[in-house]
Structure 1
Amino acid sequence: MEPMSRLPAFSRRKALKLAGAAGALASLGAVGGRILSPAIAAPAPKIRLAWTEVAACHSPLGFGAAKGIYAKHNLDVELFYQGASGQTLIQALATGKADAGAGLIGDWLKPLEQGFDVKLFVGSHGGCQRLLARKDSGIKTLADAKGKTIATYGIGAPPQVAFQVSFAKAGLDPETDVTWKAVPFELVGETLNRGDVELAAHLDPWAWAIEKQFGFTKIADTQTGFYEGHTCCVLGASGPFLDANRDALRRLAEANIEIHEYTASHPDEVAQWYFETLKPAGLTAAQLTEILGTLVYHNHPIGQPLVDQIRLAAEDLKLVKVLDPTTDPKEFAERVTINLLA
C-alpha cells in the first residue's frame, strides 16, 4: 500500500469532520456488538465492483483500489467501468459483468421493485445533485419555480426525480406546475445560460462546474432542505454473489466505510489521484478537491439505518409516482436490503 500523506493544514472545518468520522465509526462498531475490523485469513476473494468512473463522487472507490484499502480487508477488487448511467449499472449486474456496484438510490429502487435480484448493503455518501437558476431570473426558492422550465439530461433521470420530490414537498405539483426539458448531457449549463430555460438540474461534478462557470444560483441540492441527512448513493450486490460471498461483502462494506471516511478528511489526496488517473475534462485537481469537500462522506448507513434510508427514499418515489401506489415502503426497504452485521 502506498503511503497516504496528511493534509498540510488542520482547519476547524476539518477538525469537525474528523470528530464526525470518529463518532460514525464508533457507532457502527457498536452495532450488534461487533467491531468493524479487517478479516485477514483465506486467499482474498475477487469482487468485480461496478462504478461510474466519470463521477467525482465515485472517486473514493478507485482510490481505495489503487491504494490497497480493499486489499487491507483481504479483498481482490476489480473495478468494472460501467459508464455514466444508472441503467448500465443495472445491466452490468444483470448480465454478470459485475458482482456489486455503486449507484444512486433513485436508479436502484424501480428495478428492485420490479424484482431485480440485488440487495443493497451499505451507503457511500449524501448529496451530489443541484438545482440551479440564472442570477437574473429572480428565482430564489423552490416555490418560485412554478410555471418555469427546467433543463436536465434525461426525462426520468435522477436529478429530475430528486427535485420533483423537492417541488412536491414545497407545495408544487411536479407534473403540472413545472416543465422539464431534456437536453444533451454536456449542454445542460449552456441551455440555462442562454436563457432557453429558467432552471437546470444536474449531477456533480458537472453541476458544480456549471454553477461556478456561469455564476448560477443554487436553489436546492440533495444534501440540504428536504434531503438533509439522506443518503444519495448505495452499494448493491447480485443475489447469487451475495449467497456465496456474504462475508466478503461484509468486508467490502467495511472497506467502503473506511475509504469514505478517509476521503472526508483527505479530499485533496483522493482528488489528486482522480485527476492524475482519469484526467476529467475541464476540471483541475483543486476544483476536484473542492467538489469532494462539499459531499457528505460521513453518510454511509449499514444495517437498520440503511433500511430506514431506503424506506424514506421509497416514500419519496411513491410521492412522485415512480414507485407503484401499492408498494409498502417499510416492507419494500426490508426486502431489498441485507444487514451484513447481523
Structure 2
Amino acid sequence: MSRSKSKSGVSRRTLLRATGAAGLVASAGAVTSNIFSPAIAGPAPKVRLAWTEVAACHSPLGFGVAKGLYAKHNLDVELFFQGASGQTLIQALATGKADVGAGLIGDWLKPLEQGFDVKLFVGSHGGCQRLLASQASGIKDIASVKGKTIASYDVVSPPKVAFQVTLAKAGIDPENDVTWKVVPFDLVGEAVNRGDADIAAQLDPWAFSIEKKFNLVKIADTQTGVYEGHTCCVLGANGPFLKANKDAVRRLAEANIEVYDYVAGHVEETAKWYLDELKPAGLTLAELTEILGSFVLHNHPIGQPLVDQIRKTSEDLKLVKVLDSSTDPTAFAERVTVNLLA
C-alpha cells in the first residue's frame, strides 16, 4: 500500500505545519481564519504527527493543520508522511521520526501486544473499509460469500483482517470457506473486474473509486453490521514522548476531536482542501465530498470509552487469530491506552 512519493504538490520535506504564533498556514485556497482563536500563552510544543496523506480518513488531519485548529490549542504540529501501511506507521514512531501517529486499530494492536512502547489515547472516526462484489458473481450478502475468492493487497491487510471478523461472526470460516488472493494495491479492483476474484476488500478512497468505476456491489463495510458503533482509527503516542509531554498530548486529543467534529459539519470545505492539496485517486470534488460525508466522524472515544473500543477489537482479533489466544482483552486494553481525562 506504500507510495513512493506524495501525490500532492507539497514536498515531504516542507510538510504542512501549524504554529502557535502564526495561526494559519495558507496551503489551500479554501482555508480561512474564522474559527482560529489566539494561542494559549507560552511557547507551542512541537508535535510530529505521522499520517497517511492520501487516505480519505486522514485528510481531516492535514485540513486541521491548515485550518489552524491544532495551533488554536497552542500546538506546533508537523505532519510526517509515514507511508501508507501500519508497518511504516510503527517504524516512524519506533525510529523517532514521529512522536504521535494516526492509524487503524487493527494495525496498532499486534505490535502493542508484542511490547511496542506506544499508548493509544483518542479515536478519530468510524468506518473506512468496504467489501465489494462484482455484479457477475451474483453475491448479494455475506452468506453468499462462502466459496468465493476475495482480492486484497496483502496477506495481513487491514481490510482482509476486518472482513475476516465479519465472516467469522456470520459463521463462515475466514480461512477455509473462502479463498484470499493477494494482488498489487492498485489492481484490487481490476482483479475483480477481470474475473480473477469475485470480491474486493479495500480501503477508502480507493474502495469508493473501484465501487463506482466497476459498478461493484457493497456487501459489507466497517460502519455497519458487526462494526456498528466501532471506532476505526485512533491516535497513539510514543511512550517517552507521552511521558515528557502529557499535557501537549492531552491538547492534541482535544484538538483532534474538534477537527473531526468541524469536518463533520463542513464536509465540502474539507473535500475541497483534500482535492486541491492531495489530489487523491483522480476523484472529483463531489466524490470526495460523498466519501468524507459517509464516514462516522463523531466517533472519537477517549478515556474509558476508548478502553472499551480496544477491548472489543482485541476480542475480534483473537477470533481470527491475529492476537494470541492467551491475551486477556480487558487487561490488554487497559495496558495499551492512556486516560488523558484522569
Does the alignment reach a TM-score above 0.5?
A: yes
* Counterpart code for 1:151: A
The answer to whether the Cα contact below 8 Å between 1:302 and 1:339 also exists between their aligned partners in 2 is yes
The answer to whether the Cα contact below 8 Å between 2:48 and 2:98 also exists between their aligned partners in 1 is yes
The answer to whether the Cα contact below 8 Å between 2:206 and 2:281 also exists between their aligned partners in 1 is no
The answer to whether the Cα contact below 8 Å between 1:100 and 1:236 also exists between their aligned partners in 2 is yes
Higher helix share: 1
Deviation of 1:56 after TM superposition, in Å, equals 1.0
Aligned positions, number: 312
User: Higher mean Cα deviation, 176-185 or 272-281?
Assistant: 272-281
The answer to whether the Cα contact below 8 Å between 1:38 and 1:251 also exists between their aligned partners in 2 is no
Q: Give the aligned partner of residue 32 of structure 2.
A: 3
* Counterpart code for 2:213: Q
Separation (CA, whole Å) in 1 of partners of 2:280 and 2:125: 21
Runs of 4 or more, structure 1, over 3 Å off, are: none
Alignment of 1:29-40 (within 5 A): 40=40
Q: Give the aligned partner of residue 112 of structure 1.
A: 112
Deviation of 1:144 after TM superposition, in Å, equals 0.7
Separation (CA, whole Å) in 1 of partners of 2:328 and 2:33: 45
- Closer, same or farther: CA 4–57 of 1 in aligned 2, 3 Å: farther
Alpha-carbon RMSD across the aligned residues, in angstroms, is 1.5
Q: Give the aligned partner of residue 304 of structure 1.
A: 304
Alignment of 1:6-45 (within 5 A): 40-45=40-45
Calculate percent identity across the aligned residue pairs. Answer: 77
Q: Give the aligned partner of residue 187 of structure 2.
A: 187
The answer to whether the Cα contact below 8 Å between 1:128 and 1:232 also exists between their aligned partners in 2 is yes
Separation (CA, whole Å) in 2 of partners of 1:238 and 1:232: 20
* Counterpart code for 2:335: R
* Counterpart code for 2:166: S
- Closer, same or farther: CA 245–217 of 1 in aligned 2, 3 Å: same
Alignment of 1:197-236 (within 5 A): 197-236=197-236
Q: Give the aligned partner of residue 73 of structure 2.
A: 73
Please give the per-residue CA displacement for 1:155-178, whole angstroms capped at 9, x wherever unaligned: 111000000000000001111001
Separation (CA, whole Å) in 2 of partners of 1:39 and 1:166: 45
Alignment of 1:134-283 (within 5 A): 134-283=134-283
Separation (CA, whole Å) in 1 of partners of 2:341 and 2:199: 43
Instruction: Say yes or no: does 1:123 pair with 2:99.
Output: no
Deviation of 1:193 after TM superposition, in Å, equals 0.7
Q: Give the aligned partner of residue 56 of structure 1.
A: 56
The answer to whether the Cα contact below 8 Å between 1:113 and 1:323 also exists between their aligned partners in 2 is yes
Separation (CA, whole Å) in 1 of partners of 2:233 and 2:215: 27
Deviation of 1:256 after TM superposition, in Å, equals 0.2
Separation (CA, whole Å) in 2 of partners of 1:316 and 1:241: 30
Separation (CA, whole Å) in 2 of partners of 1:49 and 1:198: 38
Separation (CA, whole Å) in 2 of partners of 1:39 and 1:177: 56
Structure 1 residue ranges without an equivalent (≥5): 7-36
Please give the per-residue CA displacement for 1:104-161, whole angstroms capped at 9, x wherever unaligned: 0010000000000000000000000000001231111111111111000111110000
Separation (CA, whole Å) in 2 of partners of 1:142 and 1:216: 15
Separation (CA, whole Å) in 1 of partners of 2:101 and 2:280: 21
Q: Give the aligned partner of residue 85 of structure 1.
A: 85
Deviation of 1:103 after TM superposition, in Å, equals 0.1
TM-score (structure 1 length as normaliser): 0.89
The answer to whether the Cα contact below 8 Å between 1:39 and 1:251 also exists between their aligned partners in 2 is no
The answer to whether the Cα contact below 8 Å between 2:209 and 2:281 also exists between their aligned partners in 1 is no
The answer to whether the Cα contact below 8 Å between 1:155 and 1:182 also exists between their aligned partners in 2 is yes
Separation (CA, whole Å) in 1 of partners of 2:33 and 2:316: 40
Separation (CA, whole Å) in 2 of partners of 1:329 and 1:271: 37
SS at match of 1:307: helix
The answer to whether the Cα contact below 8 Å between 2:205 and 2:281 also exists between their aligned partners in 1 is no
Separation (CA, whole Å) in 1 of partners of 2:276 and 2:127: 24
User: Higher mean Cα deviation, 276-285 or 44-53?
Assistant: 276-285
The answer to whether the Cα contact below 8 Å between 2:46 and 2:77 also exists between their aligned partners in 1 is yes
Deviation of 1:39 after TM superposition, in Å, equals 7.8
Deviation of 1:42 after TM superposition, in Å, equals 2.0
Separation (CA, whole Å) in 2 of partners of 1:117 and 1:5: 38
SS at match of 1:69: coil
- Closer, same or farther: CA 163–4 of 1 in aligned 2, 3 Å: farther
- Closer, same or farther: CA 180–334 of 1 in aligned 2, 3 Å: same
The answer to whether the Cα contact below 8 Å between 1:126 and 1:229 also exists between their aligned partners in 2 is yes
- Closer, same or farther: CA 269–73 of 1 in aligned 2, 3 Å: same
Separation (CA, whole Å) in 2 of partners of 1:38 and 1:175: 54
Deviation of 1:38 after TM superposition, in Å, equals 9.6
Deviation of 1:4 after TM superposition, in Å, equals 6.2
The answer to whether the Cα contact below 8 Å between 2:134 and 2:216 also exists between their aligned partners in 1 is yes
Q: Give the aligned partner of residue 289 of structure 1.
A: 289
